[in-house]
Amino acid sequence: MRNLTWIFLLFLPITALAQGSIGSLTGDESVFYAQTKQVNQFFMRFNGEENVTGNRLYPGDPGFRDLKARKKYLNILFDNSSPVVNNDVKFVFIEDALNKKNPALLDFYSPGWFAEATCTFMYKKEKVNLILYLKIARQKDGYKWVISNVYFDRFESWFTNLNDTVNVKYFIHPMSHELDFMNLHKAFREPENLDYYFEQGYKPDMTGLFVMEMKNGNLSFVSVNNLKFHVFQVPGWYFELSYFSRNENNSGWLISNVIRISEKEKKALIGNYTHVN
Average pLDDT in the 178-193 region?
88
Q: What is the pLDDT of residues 84-139, one digit of tens each?
A: 999 999 999 999 999 999 999 999 999 999 999 999 999 999 999 999 999 999 98
The size of the chain, in residues, is 277
- The distance in angstroms from the start CA to the end CA of the chain is 14
13 vs 114: which has the higher pLDDT: 114
Label residue 30 by pLDDT band (50, 70, 90).
Answer: low
pTM: 0.83
What span, in angstroms and rounded, lies between the C-alpha atoms of 141 and 11? 13
246: which DSSP letter? -
What span, in angstroms and rounded, lies between the C-alpha atoms of 65 and 196? 55
Q: What is the pLDDT of residues 67-84, one digit of tens each?
A: 999 998 898 899 999 999
DSSP character string of 154-178: HHHHTTTTTT--S--SS---TTGGG
For residue 119, give Cα distances in angstroms to 39, 126, 197, 207: 19, 14, 32, 15
Label residue 144 by pLDDT band (50, 70, 90).
Answer: very high
Label residue 197 by pLDDT band (50, 70, 90).
Answer: confident
What span, in angstroms and rounded, lies between the C-alpha atoms of 120 and 222? 5
What span, in angstroms and rounded, lies between the C-alpha atoms of 238 and 89? 12
pLDDT at 266 over 90: yes
- Cα dihedral value 39, 114, 142, 4, nearest 10: -140
Which ranges constitute the DSSP H helices of the chain?
Answer: 27-34, 39-47, 67-76, 87-97, 153-157, 184-189, 206-215, 263-270
